[in-house]
Amino acid sequence: MDRLDKNISRREFIRHSTVSAAALGAAAMAGSYSALAAQQKIKKVRMALVGTGIRGSTTWGTELLKELGDYVEIVGLCDINPLRVEVANRWMGGKIPTFTDFDKMLDQTKPDRVMVTVMDCYHAQYVCRAMELGYDAMSEKPLCSTAEQAQQLIDTQKRTGRKLDVTFNARYGQAEMKVKELLLAGEIGDLYSVDYAEFLDLDHGASYFRRWHGIKHNSGTLLCHKASHHFDQLNWWIDSDPVEVVAYGRLNKYGSNSSIRHANCRPCPYKKQCELYYDMTTDKAFMELYAGCESADGYYRDGCLWRHDIDIPDTYSAQIKYKNGTLVTYSLNATVPFEGQLVVFNGSKGRIDLRNYNTQPWTVPYESELRLTRNFKGSELVKLERQAGEFFEHGGADSRIKQMIFKPGMPDPLGQLAGMRAGLMSSGIGIAAYTSIETGRRVKISELFNIA
């Protein structure tokens, strides 16, 4: 789901435009929330945030304040990079206290909630620390990327009793919610199997290998980082726990699979030869948030795709067995010409086909097609209505999850709010899958952590 807003005009449009459809949509929402908030005399949630990269500073920063500023305020910003935290603060109006020390931020701001949007491998550490210090937390996906982190989360929550939300926005896409409705309504009877194929293109897919994600220690491979969305969707749709996983993976394209390489693209001597050269200099926001902050941590957002230290596969295949008997076949391929997903549900009474495709560059919205076929009764397309503004922010999913979390009294008939257990079960599949790739054996979720 993290569709990086590569197209500059679109990103600028979302972030700075005062007349865009998204801004108008947000303003309209904010207007109605405002009136409601005033009527209900709602006390704003005081949120502190750690990890002021692109996700933290936009979705959970500028956009959150724009959309739900009557319900939530940001009382502190923290990042290990002292320059980036200041950029984020500027984007949010320049008045929020900034920190590089997490404990100090919590001590000085005493927030109601702590949002964790740092690099994946530190989510568990910050969530646990917040809980230990007596605060409720929220974490971006994946909740964790190792079995040890999973157990630490379980033990810490048990001891502290604090609340945790995991922000699985992929549950909030319109087509994905419709699938859940169809399954809940029993339209295809008992679920026998699901086939889930994820396609990431040579822009978005490749971008994971330019960034910190290409190192397993940071991301837990794309099986934790990216597929955590898909494994969570599967757990939610199937409504059962994963039990056992077997997987394969291979690095076919990136990393050492080239004869040319440099540290990063901007100074690269092979710009003309490289089929995947990326010019970050055309992106004003990225130049400010990343290039302008390199002196503090040496991190290149336009890192070379062909670095020898890339140690995660770009091609994955996995089988998952569920407690209720459902069998899943999953694949992720980060080297293909276009973006999308094919998800097929086979049940005792019929079948659902969800097809999210984008044969254009991925800055253009997905086309979604949802088909319901009943045994011996023909096939129909299920109507999906795109609303104004849904083009942006993962097809409206980001906006919906923010409302669900911050607006009091929101109904949740589809069970979309996700907590610790959902986070663990999603990451559990990813950890089991990379363990299976490394060891060549079937891995049980119960060997990884003890949730009882």
In the complex with ligand NAD, the residue whose CB is nearer, 162 or 211, is: 211
The answer to whether the peptide bond before residue 142 is cis (omega within 30 degrees of 0) is yes
Coil, strand or helix: which one is 24? helix
**Taking contact as CB under 6 A, which single stretch among the options 75-83, 152-160, 233-241, 427-435 is the one that binds ligand NAD?**
75-83
Which bin fits 419, alpha (ψ -120 to 50), beta or left (φ > 0)? beta
Minimum CB separation of residue 31 from ligand NAD in Å reads 26
Minimum CB separation of residue 167 from ligand NAD in Å reads 6
11 in Cβ contact with 3 (< 8 Å): no
Minimum CB separation of residue 53 from ligand NAD in Å reads 2
Q: Which residues pair with 327 in a beta bridge?
A: 193, 321
H runs (alpha helix) in 239-292: 284-289
Rounding to the nearest 10 degrees, give the CA dihedral for residues 311, 312, 317, 318: 100
* HSE-CB of 417 using CA atoms within 13 angstroms: 16
Q: How many residues bind ligand NAD (CB under 6 A)?
A: 23
**Taking contact as CB under 6 A, which single stretch among the options 6-14, 116-124, 268-276, 320-328 is the one that binds ligand NAD?**
116-124
Q: Measured at the alpha carbon of residue 333, what is the angle toward residues 327 and 335, in degrees to the nearest 5?
A: 170
In the complex with ligand NAD, the residue whose CB is nearer, 84 or 400, is: 84
Q: Which two tokens stand for residue 84?
A: 């980036």
Contacts for 18 with CB less than 8 Å, ≥ 6 apart: none
278 in Cβ contact with 291 (< 8 Å): no
Sites for ligand NAD among residues 317-376 (CB under 6 A): none
Instruction: Give backbone dihedrals phi and psi of 105, rounded to 5 degrees, phi first.
Output: -60, -45
Quick count: other Cβ atoms within 10 Å of Cβ 399? 25
Rounded to whole angstroms, the Cα distance separating 146 from 91 reads: 33
175 in Cβ contact with 356 (< 8 Å): yes
Rounded to whole angstroms, the Cα distance separating 276 from 187 reads: 44
Minimum CB separation of residue 394 from ligand NAD in Å reads 6
In the complex with ligand NAD, the residue whose CB is nearer, 122 or 322, is: 122
**Taking contact as CB under 6 A, which single stretch among the options 76-84, 241-249, 266-274, 410-418 is the one that binds ligand NAD?**
76-84
In the complex with ligand NAD, the residue whose CB is nearer, 25 or 56, is: 56
The answer to whether 145 contacts ligand NAD (rule: CB under 6 A) is no
The answer to whether 81 contacts ligand NAD (rule: CB under 6 A) is yes
Residue type, 108: Q
Chosen residue from 80, 137, 222, 404 binding ligand NAD by CB under 6 A = 80
Chosen residue from 6, 15, 55, 210 binding ligand NAD by CB under 6 A = 55
Chosen residue from 6, 22, 26, 52 binding ligand NAD by CB under 6 A = 52
The answer to whether 416 contacts ligand NAD (rule: CB under 6 A) is no
Sites for ligand NAD among residues 123-142 (CB under 6 A): 140-141
In the complex with ligand NAD, the residue whose CB is nearer, 122 or 236, is: 122
Residue 247's nearest CA partner among 431, 424, 434 is 434
Minimum CB separation of residue 152 from ligand NAD in Å reads 16
Minimum CB separation of residue 223 from ligand NAD in Å reads 13
Sites for ligand NAD among residues 148-187 (CB under 6 A): 169
Minimum CB separation of residue 212 from ligand NAD in Å reads 6
The answer to whether 79 contacts ligand NAD (rule: CB under 6 A) is yes
Q: Which residues pair with 321 in a beta bridge?
A: 244, 327
Coil, strand or helix: which one is 446? helix
Cα 300 from chain centre: 21
In the complex with ligand NAD, the residue whose CB is nearer, 253 or 394, is: 394
Minimum CB separation of residue 193 from ligand NAD in Å reads 27
Minimum CB separation of residue 2 from ligand NAD in Å reads 3
The answer to whether 396 contacts ligand NAD (rule: CB under 6 A) is no
Minimum CB separation of residue 191 from ligand NAD in Å reads 25
In the complex with ligand NAD, the residue whose CB is nearer, 208 or 330, is: 208
The answer to whether 122 contacts ligand NAD (rule: CB under 6 A) is yes
- The CA-atom distances, in angstroms, between 71 and each of 34, 66, 391 are 8, 11, 24
Which residue number places its CB atom closest to ligand NAD? 53
**Taking contact as CB under 6 A, which single stretch among the options 78-86, 240-248, 274-282, 339-347 is the one that binds ligand NAD?**
78-86
In the complex with ligand NAD, the residue whose CB is nearer, 188 or 234, is: 234
The answer to whether 50 contacts ligand NAD (rule: CB under 6 A) is yes
- The DSSP 8-state label assigned to residue 81 in this structure reads S
162 in Cβ contact with 113 (< 8 Å): no
Contacts for 123 with CB less than 8 Å, ≥ 6 apart: 116, 139, 140, 142, 143, 144, 145, 149
Quick count: other Cβ atoms within 10 Å of Cβ 271? 13
Sites for ligand NAD among residues 203-242 (CB under 6 A): 225
The footprint of ligand NAD (CB under 6 A) covers 1-2, 50-56, 79-81, 84, 117-120, 122, 140-141, 169, 225, 394
